[in-house]
Amino acid sequence: MTITFAELALPSALLQAVEELGYVNPTPIQAQAIPAALEGRDVVASANTGTGKTAAFVLPALARIAATPRDAGSWGPRVLVLTPTRELATQVLDQVRILSKFARIQTGSVLGGMPYRAQIEMLRRRADLIVATPGRLIDHLENGKVDLSCIEMLVLDEADRMLDMGFRDAVEQIAGACPQGRQTMLFTATLDRTAEKLASSLTKDPVRVDVAGKTVTNISITQNWLRADGLDHKHKLLARLLEDEAFGKGIVFMATKADCDVMADQLSDKGHRAMPLHGDMQQRERNRVVQWMRDGRINVLVATDVAARGIDISDISHVINFDLPRVAEDYVHRIGRTGRAGATGISYSLFTRQDRNLVRAIEQYTGQPHVQSTLPGLEPMPEQERKFRPAGGAGGKPFGKGGYGGGKSFGGGGNRGGGYGQGGGYRGGPRREGEQAGGQGGWNGERRERREDRFAAAGERPAGEVQQPRQHEQHADRPQQGGERRGWSPDAAPVGGEVAGERPAARGPHPHKTNPYKPHAGKGRPQGHGGEGRADFRDNGGNAGGEGRREFRGERRGEAREAGAGAATRRPFRQG
């Protein structure tokens, strides 16, 4: 049975404003939530994006303010509306001012990014209804600048989004500052377990209104999926979509704020009237961009998920997901910027092979399989068939297509090679298959080939020649540690006090190696203290043959005992 707004027992001033807007019949969410709210009951409602949730709580709030006078001596706000984002708060406040056009109701907003002084002045006056974001309202509440003891109705719009943004503690703190006998209304697009817990803690015997049901997305939105080969292909697809004659106004969603600025500049250089919208912009700049979009001064809005909720522009025809959202729920709110208030809309989602998991998550959340479409002349390359082969060798199959060290190891060749690429190449290097990839492929093999090619091009070594290991170079005029000098001959000139024709004596140990405070330095001993039962070795590189000899220290101590008590023995440690 279809009802009209005149049957909802609204004050005449509100009915006049509704009639001026041209509304006759309420939407399903409005027809169920408004009567319960006018009775003073708590309401927990869930509905899809663009179904009129804002008017479902604004009309009862304005009716309560118009029907009941303010208590004597009270100065604080009577109705508080909490929203997760500044854009949504601005949209709600605009709707409040339109519907209260013929009623004398004082309104205001408490938003982040705006001057504190103007907000404090507004809070000192008798504001009947304020729309606020949790963060800035907490600042005023902790500083004692706002009094919430007169709140008669508390409204939480997009409660699920506030929870996702981490505002649960702030919402509970604000609700605790409000009177216990207040009326609470909670509106959300998806009523999950977390939102259900919040609703049960803030409401008392609420009226449940579920208009969304099992349908998550708006049926008036035509969803299209375009597979791209890479980033360049994505840009070509976007350029084709923006040049379409059916494109009127649209939002292009990006993953990061920096990407928004870059994309907006690129589109502006190509002649499109595009502007960015993200969280790093000042609130005045964000409001100006949204207003330009409404007025038609720009027709392309390049935004992050900050605009996924709260942007209510009726004539947006296209939504383009250049980057897929990381949270499947955000996909629903992104495409919900079009097809609002009974209108139709079109959405395009661009994805690559690396976005397969995100596509599956969206399919699981919406319950709808994605139907891939193409644009003439910009068809993607056909996907190669994925061949699953059993992993060989002992490495098993822990990573990708092969075992680490066996079979096609780590995406590479045989069990002796392997690399990061399909055939042993590294980041786009030449592919190799089979045993050749095992012996020569892989990351190390590819790097070695490239290095040899560079050497051959520079004329340092012929290509393919194996570089001999470099010997340890020492000065020709210095003896080596073992007592033998490199390149000595009887005809060599004496150096450093040597006698001509005679082999020089073995070089003595370095001064720090005879330091009594470091008796173990340079001895080749393992770490730790040695004793008579330990296998402690020392170097003795000064014999006539010039060959170093490894002596067992315990053996030397035994010889000292046989020689008698008077024989000198070397103490391994300095004793007091």
List pLDDT tens digits, range 182-210: 999 999 877 777 888 888 899 999 999 88
Q: How many CB atoms lie within 10 A of CB 109?
A: 23
Pick the CATH number of 221-373 from 3.30.1330.10, 3.30.930.10, 3.40.50.300, 3.30.56.10: 3.40.50.300
The pLDDT value recorded for residue 211 is 78
Q: Structure pTM?
A: 0.54
Q: Residue 250 has what DSSP assignment?
A: E
Tell me the CB-side half-sphere exposure of residue 348, using CA atoms within 13 A. Answer: 23
Q: What is the mean pLDDT of residues 177-184?
A: 93
- Position 506 confidence tier, pLDDT thresholds 50, 70, 90: low
Q: Where are the domains of the chain?
A: 5-210, 221-373, 409-458
- b or e along 449-465 (b: 16 or more beta carbons within 10 Å of the residue's beta carbon)? beebeeeeeeeeeeeee
Tell me the CB-side half-sphere exposure of residue 194, using CA atoms within 13 A. Answer: 13
CATH code reported for the domain at 5-210 = 3.40.50.300
Burial class of residue 65, CB neighbours in 10 A (0-12, 13-18, 19+): buried
The pLDDT value recorded for residue 213 is 54
341 three-class SS: coil
Please name which of 139, 150, 145, 207 lies closest in space to residue 173, comparing C-alpha atoms: 139
Listed range (65-69, 282-286, 539-543) with the worst mean pLDDT: 539-543
Same fold, 5-210 and 221-373: yes
Q: What is the mean pLDDT of residues 317-332?
A: 90
